[in-house]
Amino acid sequence: MNATTIGATKSIRPFWTALNLHLGGSEFLATLLIVAASLGAGIAAKPDLGEVASALIFVLGITIAGAVCGLAAALLASIAAFLLFNFYLAEPVLTFRLASGSDVATLLVFNLCAVVTGVLAGRLNDRARAARVSNGHLTGLLATSEALQSAVRVEDVASIVTRVAPDQLGVMLDIFELADGTLCAVGPTEIDNSAAIARSALVQGECKDGTILARRLNGSYGPIGVMVATGLDSHRPAPEFIAALGNIIALAIERAALSRGLAERRAAERTEELKTALLSSVSHDFRTPLTAISASASSLIEFRDRLDDATRSTLLRGIVAECERLNRYTANLLEMSRLEAGHVSTQLQTLSVADMIGAAIVHLKSRAGSRVITKSADPNLTVVADTALFELVLINVMENAILYSDDGSRIHVSAAQENDACVVSVTDEGKGIPVTDLKRVFERFVRVARVEPSPRGSGLGLAIANGFVEAMGGRISAHIPGIEGHGTQIVIRLPLAEQHT
């Protein structure tokens, strides 16, 4: 018996398997033809060249059989040559009897020479064949390793190896991942009963069932899965080859698992950052209007008999305005959560840009104070957009301009056609945005750091506007300066209605 140790698993193989004494049908026929040809040539050469020359012809045939078909063919050819030479060429012919006792030594020497030359040629052929197979395996393993470099998920690893293995490695593979103590197939399985074989291999380290070989995949901290393989030529893959392939796949799976864990940690960190920023925004942005509402309501309750109608009306309008402000904050937070979850649904329709701008200006009239808001838009200019989203985009951008500009300043809203797009610009002469923050202002909870005192926004308005504009197939950008060298210009580009259709 021949024992081969593979990692921690020992496989015991019969000596004829270790010697590779397998002889295929085509190789068997080739050996018979070579022996037959040697017999014919020996018989033809005997009358003129003698019995020794005939024996050498047989030795040459055995050598050719071993060189072409391998060790098993050489042994078969030597046995056949021994019998045929004794029967057809050694005197007396057509019988296995020998003419004298001295002929026994001659025949044995002939047979020994034939066996030795055949075995040497056969072993050389087998080694060359094994080298070609080994080189093919190494090339296939290298190609598989290179293909796995792009796998970032365990599913990608299974998809790549099951696609590459049949062509590059000559095997069919099923991959199983060990997750939370449960062995689960990664992708569809192609090998019969592979799940049961994989469970056995998980416990034993390696499991064989006919032409199927399963091997446990070990990571840095223990088992991470199982690989089940079977040869496409109905032969069981070599354990050494499967061990090497298993190590490559185990490294790829472990790398993908680490990448997945890192992505989950980063997502958790981003969620925690979002939660912290959200709480900070809510604590500030809700406190201000609530404080104003509370103060106005308290004044109305405490001093209602001493307040004139104009003062009471002002306080009530202030309460309504602050309630609308809270409603906008709540709507922004809701829409921000929808954007984060990717649940923004758009109902696109043809809209008049001039009408939408006018409606947004009316909506914000109470917030504008003494600021002068003007508009210029072609009444025939139409876009394909969602009504609610487009209105919220305009309100958020214009409210941002109101928030960061002083009373009495100007805000201009324009809409014009540029090529195949409608360009809406909201320009103010407020505090402006530093060049380094022109792109960052569209990120959630980003507030521009300023030296001078300035209002504190929620950091959501432009981020939501950016998400909604992109959801409608458009783009939004910030530019400086705004009006007469001051302030900011926010530019929104949306597809024209006629271009969309």
CATH code, domain with 205:
3.30.450.40
Backbone phi, then psi, for 151, in 5-degree steps? Answer: -80, 125
The answer to whether position 155 is within a domain reads no
**For 91, which DSSP code?**
S
The answer to whether position 474 is within a domain reads yes
Residues sharing a CB contact under 8 Å with residue 497, sequence separation 6 or more, in sequence order: 350, 382, 383, 384
Q: Tokens standing for 215?
A: 């091997």
Tally: H helices and E strands in the chain: 15, 14
Could you tell me if 300 and 248 lie in one domain?
no
* Between 454 and 51, the higher pLDDT residue: 51
Say how many domains are in the chain: 4
Could you tell me if 349 and 334 lie in one domain?
no
Residue-level pLDDT at 458: 57
- Position 7 pLDDT exceeds 60: no
Tell me which amino acid residue 459 is.
G
Residue-level pLDDT at 328: 72
CA distance 469 to 429: 24
Give the Å distances, CA to CA, from 360 to 373, 388, 466, 501.
11, 11, 17, 26
Of the given ranges (26-40, 207-221, 271-285, 431-445), which has the lowest mean pLDDT? 271-285
For residue range 305-325, what is the model confidence (pLDDT) as tens digits?
788 888 888 888 888 888 887
Could you tell me if 186 and 43 lie in one domain?
no
pTM: 0.45
Could you tell me if 310 and 437 lie in one domain?
no
CA angle 440, 446, 448 (to 5 degrees): 80
Residue-level pLDDT at 259: 80
The answer to whether position 232 is within a domain reads yes
Give the Å distances, CA to CA, from 206 to 185, 198, 295.
17, 9, 77
The answer to whether position 264 is within a domain reads no
Could you tell me if 355 and 445 lie in one domain?
yes
Could you tell me if 189 and 84 lie in one domain?
no
Strands 182-185 and 206-209: unpaired
Tell me which amino acid residue 283 is.
S
Residue-level pLDDT at 500: 46
Q: Helix, strand, coil proportions of the chain in percent (round to 5)?
A: 60, 20, 25
Q: Which of 100, 63, 107, 65 is nearest to 84 (CA)?
A: 107
CA distance 39 to 80: 10
* Between 247 and 499, the higher pLDDT residue: 247
Residue 333: which domain range? 286-339
Mean pLDDT of the chain: 77
CA distance 385 to 388: 9
CA distance 66 to 72: 8
Residues sharing a CB contact under 8 Å with residue 490, sequence separation 6 or more, in sequence order: 397, 400, 401, 425, 426, 427, 462, 465, 476, 477, 478, 479
The answer to whether position 170 is within a domain reads yes
**For 193, which DSSP code?**
T
Could you tell me if 55 and 174 lie in one domain?
no
Q: Largest alpha-carbon pair distance within the chain?
A: 150
CB burial string 312-338: b at 16+ within 10 A, e below: eeebeebbebbeebbebbeebbebbeb
213 touches 13 (CB < 8 A): no
Q: How many CB atoms lie within 10 A of CB 355?
A: 12
* Residue 30's pLDDT band (cuts 50, 70, 90): confident
- Position 339 pLDDT exceeds 70: no
* Between 1 and 480, the higher pLDDT residue: 480
Of the given ranges (50-64, 108-122, 237-251, 480-494), which has the lowest mean pLDDT? 108-122
Could you tell me if 294 and 364 lie in one domain?
no
CA angle 66, 69, 71 (to 5 degrees): 50
Could you tell me if 369 and 488 lie in one domain?
yes
* Between 156 and 20, the higher pLDDT residue: 156
Q: Which residues does residue 411 pair with via DSSP β-bridges, in sequence order?
A: 373, 428
Could you tell me if 330 and 400 lie in one domain?
no
Could you tell me if 214 and 174 lie in one domain?
yes
Could you tell me if 18 and 113 lie in one domain?
yes
129 touches 70 (CB < 8 A): yes
Query: To 10 degrees, what angle do helices 102-148 and 239-285 make?
Result: 10
Winning range, highest mean pLDDT, from 123-132, 234-243, 379-388 = 379-388
